[in-house]
């Protein structure tokens, strides 16, 4: 899972990136960064420790989500001049986008002269993403028109069909429906897979509030959800700077501070959970005396695909999977006991992996 973090200058992208990856990338009152920060967030999961204790395992490995914190766009993202070049490539590579908007008031951090308004900024950002896709569509239309001139009548039909689809997508976008929200046949969806449209990606809108706005978070979340929430747009409000400071403490101190400030669930856990939701991912486990490990895969993925997440050999040479739910395994205390109670199942290639499954893949290459 690769998640791109975007937003207007000084909205708190790097601050949130640091919070979720427990990183220490440079944040700044004046934008100076030009390279993206790439970091990995380890997904906390209490089941991992329980499994590690049960297996008396030497090693525990959490599931990971990669975040890419993008510097402000060189052309001035948010000023309707579009997104292009390397910046666009970075965005296109992400599986989902976090759109950060500034809600915190702080006179030492300059705004763009229009005052702080997170809702206006969400609209600006969504407009920018739409604008970038419209540009991609226009470029494609130009290329198709050129192609039509130099092809024979028989091939022209294929081009015209593609042209039709692109025009329909464009109309939809202009009417305010992101490409991810437009109805497409399977065939059409496959046809546009390669284009990497930004509005086809799930979006997580995060309002970055100040620590003095803790008691406004709930109201902010409500307004964000009602104005922008949809099947493909998730919304949240967090205190980025506070979360970053908390993420840099050790677990005990963090817990104490969180309680004393009434800061609730960790913003880090929240961001990760939203990332899972946006990409419809589930967690499964592998376990032995050498290593207990959590993995992610799309919901309803077949066992072969889950095997492939572990290693391509396991997907290629897949024979079958031994499956037990994490809860059942922990209750039984060992594979042998789980087997005795008939809780260890043998599953084939098409078995749809469930949240919390513990898998042993049998394979032969
Ligand atoms: N008071 C306050 N300041 C914040 C908060 N979040 C971020 N800041 C400050 O705002 C400034 C910009 O934060 P960054 O995280 O660097 O923002 P950014 O979006 O990465 O900025 P660019 O990469 O330059 O576009 C820094 O000085 C932060 O300390 C917050 O919640 N409260
Ligand atoms: Mg930054």
Of 23-37, 162-176, 178-192, which range is least confident?
A: 23-37
Whether the CB of 267 sits within 6 Å of ligand 1: no
Question: Partners of 324 in the beta sheet?
Answer: 358
User: Does residue 41 sit in the same domain as residue 105?
Assistant: yes
pLDDT digits (tens, 9 = 90+) for 133-154: 998 899 899 999 998 888 888 7
User: Does residue 109 sit in the same domain as residue 245?
Assistant: yes
> Does the structure show a pLDDT above 90 at 221?
yes
Distance (Å, whole) CA 267 – CA 238 = 6
Distance 17 CA to ligand 2 centre (A): 9
Whether the CB of 23 sits within 6 Å of ligand 1: no
| CA dihedral of residues 348, 351, 353, 354 (deg, nearest 10) | -120
Residue to substitute in 5, 8, 15 for testing ligand 1 pocket (most ligand atoms within 8 angstroms of CB): 15
Whether the CB of 106 sits within 6 Å of ligand 1: yes
Could you tell me the CATH number of the domain that includes residue 228?
A: 3.40.50.300
Whether the CB of 28 sits within 6 Å of ligand 1: yes
CB 103 within 8 A of CB 209: yes
Give the list of residues 6+ apart from residue 224 with CB closer than 8 angstroms, or none.
118, 119, 122, 205, 207, 235, 236, 237
**Per-residue pLDDT at 357:** 97
- Index of the ligand 1 atom closest to the CA of residue 11: 19
User: Does residue 66 sit in the same domain as residue 210?
Assistant: yes
Distance (Å, whole) CA 43 – CA 50 = 15
Q: Which two tokens stand for residue 226?
A: 């009602």
**Per-residue pLDDT at 25:** 75
Domain assignment present for residue 323? The answer is yes
Whether the CB of 214 sits within 6 Å of ligand 1: no
Distance spanning both ends of the chain, measured CA to CA:
27
Distance 31 CA to ligand 2 centre (A): 7
Q: Which domain holds residue 313?
A: 300-363
pLDDT digits (tens, 9 = 90+) for 263-313: 677 777 888 889 999 999 999 999 999 999 999 999 999 999 999 999 999
User: Does residue 171 sit in the same domain as residue 204?
Assistant: no
Domain assignment present for residue 53? The answer is no
Q: Which two tokens stand for residue 148?
A: 């039509």
Give the list of residues 6+ apart from residue 61 with CB closer than 8 angstroms, or none.
291, 292, 293, 294
**Per-residue pLDDT at 5:** 94
Q: What is the mean pLDDT of the chain?
A: 89
Which residue, among 16, 7, 9, has the nearest Cα to 209 in the 3D structure? 16
User: Does residue 209 sit in the same domain as residue 265?
Assistant: yes
Q: Which ligand has the nearest atom to the CA of 238?
A: 1
């Amino acid at each position: 899972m690769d998640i791109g973090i975007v937003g207007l200058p000084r909205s708190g992208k790097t601050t949130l990136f640091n919070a979720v990856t427990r990183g220490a990338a440079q944040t700044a009152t004046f934008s100076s960064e030009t390279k993206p920060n790439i970091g990995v967030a380890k997904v906390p999961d209490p089941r991992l420790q329980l499994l590690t204790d049960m297996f008396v395992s030497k090693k525990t490995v959490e599931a990971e989500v990669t975040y890419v914190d993008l510097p402000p766009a060189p052309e001035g993202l948010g000023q309707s001049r579009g997104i292009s070049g390397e910046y666009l490539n970075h965005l296109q590579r992400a599986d989902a986008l976090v759109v950060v908007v500034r809600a915190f008031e702080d006179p030492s951090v300059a705004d763009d002269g229009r005052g702080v308004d997170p809702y206006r900024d969400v609209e600006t950002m969504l407009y920018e993403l739409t604008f970038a896709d419209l540009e991609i569509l226009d470029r494609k239309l130009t290329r198709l028109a050129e192609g039509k001139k130099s092809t024979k009548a028989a091939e022209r039909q294929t081009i015209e069909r593609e042209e039709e689809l692109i025009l329909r997508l464009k109309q939809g976008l202009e009417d305010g429906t992101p490409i991810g929200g437009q109805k497409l046949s399977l065939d059409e969806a496959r046809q546009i897979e390669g284009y990497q449209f930004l509005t086809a990606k799930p979006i997580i809108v995060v309002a970055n509030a100040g620590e003095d706005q803790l008691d406004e978070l709930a109201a902010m979340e409500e307004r964000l959800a009602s104005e922008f929430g949809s099947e493909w747009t998730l919304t949240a409000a967090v205190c980025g700077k506070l979360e970053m400071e908390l993420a840099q403490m050790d677990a005990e101190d963090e817990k104490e501070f969180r309680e004393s400030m009434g800061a609730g669930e960790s913003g880090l856990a929240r961001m990760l959970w939203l990332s899972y939701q946006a990409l419809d991912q589930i967690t499964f486990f592998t376990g032995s005396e050498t290593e207990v490990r959590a993995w992610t895969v799309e919901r309803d993925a077949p066992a072969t695909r889950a095997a492939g997440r572990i290693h391509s050999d396991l997907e290629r040479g897949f024979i079958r999977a031994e499956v037990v739910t994490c809860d059942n395994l922990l209750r039984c205390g060992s594979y042998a006991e789980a087997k005795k109670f008939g809780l260890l199942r043998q599953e084939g290639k098409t078995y749809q992996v469930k949240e919390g499954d513990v898998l042993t893949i049998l394979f032969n290459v």
